[in-house]
Structure 1
Amino acid sequence: MNPLVCARCGARVDPSGAAEAALTCVTCGHRQPFRRLPLYCVTGPSGTGKSAVGRLLVDALADRFVVLEQDVLWTAGLRDPTDEHRRFRTTWLRMAGMIQQSGRPVVLCGTVVPPELEPLPERALFSDIHYLALTCEPDTLAARLRARPAWRQWDEPRIAEMLDYAAWVSDTAHRMSPPMTLLDTTDGTVADTASRVTAWIDHRHG
């Protein structure tokens, strides 16, 4: 079942026209039920703990949410840096919009910031998007990236770029629209961070 294809005439449905509980076909006017739920993005620079925390969130939230790792769709056909990877991000929003029709919101773990999702037409598929950015001290972040396996190709220039990105996230998170909540993972264990992320999600969803 693809909610972005009209059940009556088969035309593509414009996601930007999502109403509170329905999608309307711009071709024939058919309204089909649609659940608009919140999307929760657990984001942050590489090395802050998203993947490790995400593995624990799967069990902690399994009865209420669907937890997904953003990088599983990081494939050549969806990557286009000249367009800020728009196809990659719209694909994820469409996928999450379909999954939430089961009645369970999606928790998406991956590097993303509000300016990359909020302007997209598919943003209308969700009632809200909440952003929690994991952060850590620069020395800790650099050490974590250097400790990664060689196949991940974290050389010093790439690490320096990530440190600059991490500083930008920390400095601008409160000014973004919507603002991003920051969670420092420098000293906490993975289990402790996962518990705090779970509490953050439950608080906003409750």
Structure 2
Amino acid sequence: MQTTPEKPVEVEFCLQCGPGTGLRPRGDGSQLRCPRCGWVRLVPLRPLFVVIGASGAGKTTIVPALARKLVGCEVFDVDLTLHIAALGWDAWRATWLQIAHGIAQNGRSTVLCGTITPDQLETLPTRQLVGPIHSCLLDCPDDVLVERLRARPPWRGTDEDFVARQLGFAAWLRDHIEPSFSSYACEPATVVDQVAAWVTSGWIDGSAARLIRSPRRATGRESASHPFARMGPTVRSWARKALSRQTVFP
């Protein structure tokens, strides 16, 4: 018996109307609105930073030091979730936008280090969950890239075809992504400082500064009237007790 396929669940749906009704951006994108009932959800549009480079450019190498340097960000090697690519490359990329969205709800921005390009993110349904996307290139000379790739252990599967594809990708990136930072001309610590300075400049330019500004604090009357107003102290009390017992169970 032939059945009618179910309508896919929207990435962000209305909690009043259900999974079949997707929310749509409103105004500057900081709100998602239900087209049916008008329910609105606020979106913390923090900027997303992407450090792009061909395989072997040094992206993974700088992640730990960059994470220590950028105390206001969460820094990730995108290969951390590479197993999700089994569901499709777009599913993998969309997952990183959802992670960045979740981190933004905690008041922090996200820095991704990997081979994801801006155009691959712009067309995803989850693009509406993050603020402006800034990208920079981590690069090195072709002969250095080849040397690094050929020095990888056999299990990485770095054959000559892979090397040739990465050289082509590196050439494309040089034509399309800026600014560019060299992982060969400078010591790793210097590269980290340069990338960190670039991220910081993204925070304080006109648009990014507006997007990461702390939200308006509710007045005493608004806070007292909110149905969840008394939950904060309760959750904090439970968290302190849980940590003191070194357990996560209430």
- Compute the TM-score of the two structures, normalised by the length of structure 1: 0.84
| 1:193 aligned partner, one-letter code | V
Pair 1:181–1:162, CA change in 2 (3 A): same
Match of 2:57 among 48, 60, 66: 48
Contact 2:149/2:158, CA 8 A, preserved across alignment: yes
Call closer, same or farther: CA 1:13–1:65 in 2, change over 3 Å: farther
Offset of residue 55 of structure 1: 1.4
Q: Which whole-Å CA distance do the structure 1 matches of 2:166 and 2:201 have between them?
A: 30
1:111 aligns with 2:115: yes
Q: For the residues of structure 1 that align with 2:87 and 2:163, how far apart are their CA atoms?
A: 21
For structure 2, the 5+ residue unaligned runs are: 1-10, 205-250
- Superposed CA deviations along residues 113-154 of structure 1, whole A, max 9, x for unmatched, are 122111223222222000011111000001111112221111
CA distance in 1 between partners of 2:98 and 2:66 (Å): 22
Partner of 1:176: none
8 A Cα contact 1:16 1:121, kept in partner: no
Q: Cα offset for 1:158? A: 1.1
Superposed displacement of residue 187, structure 1:
2.0
- Mapped to 2, the partners of 1:15 and 1:48 lie a distance apart of 39
- Give the Cα separation in 2 of the matches to 1:104 and 1:13: 29
> Is the counterpart of residue 153 in structure 1 residue 153 in structure 2?
no
State the secondary structure of the residue aligned to 2:68.
helix
Match of 2:220 in 1: none
**CA distance 1:91–1:164, shift in 2 (3 Å):** same
Report the CA distance shift for 1:79/1:166 in structure 2 as closer, same or farther (over 3 A).
Answer: farther
Aligned residue type for 1:66: E
Match of 1:205 in 2: 203
SS in 1 for 2:51: strand
The two structures have a TM-score, normalised by structure 2, of 0.70
Shift of 1:26: 3.4
Counterparts of 1:69 and 1:26 in 2: how far apart (Å)? 37
User: 1 CA distance for matches of 2:193 and 2:141?
Assistant: 20
**CA spacing shift, 1:79–1:147, aligned 2, 3 Å:** farther
Larger RCO of the pair (alpha carbons < 8 Å, separation 6+) = 1
Q: For residue 126 of structure 1, what is the aligned residue in structure 2?
A: 130
Cα shift at 1:200: 0.5
1:165 maps to 169
Contact kept, 8 Å, 2:84 with 2:91, in 1: the verdict is no
Identity of aligned residues (%): 34
1:24 aligns to what?
A: 33
More displaced, 10-19 or 136-145? 10-19
Task: Evaluate the alpha carbon distance shift between residue 196 and residue 15 of structure 1 in structure 2; reply closer, same or farther with a 3 A threshold.
Answer: farther
> CA offset at residue 94 of structure 1?
1.6
Structure 1 residues without counterparts, runs of 5 or longer:
174-179
Relative distance call for 1:105 and 1:57 in structure 2 (3 A) is same
Q: SS in structure 2 opposite 1:203?
A: helix
Match of residue 76 from structure 2: 68
* Bigger Rg, structure 1 or 2: 2
User: Which residue does 2:189 correspond to in 1?
Assistant: 191
What is the rounded CA distance, in whole Å, between the counterparts of 2:84 and 2:19 in structure 1? 28
Tell me, yes or no, if the aligned pair for 1:4 and 1:15 is still in contact at 8 Å.
Answer: yes
Secondary structure of the 1:75 match is helix
Shift, 1:108, TM fit: 1.0
Supply the distance in 2 between the matched residues of 1:51 and 1:15 (Cα, whole angstroms): 36
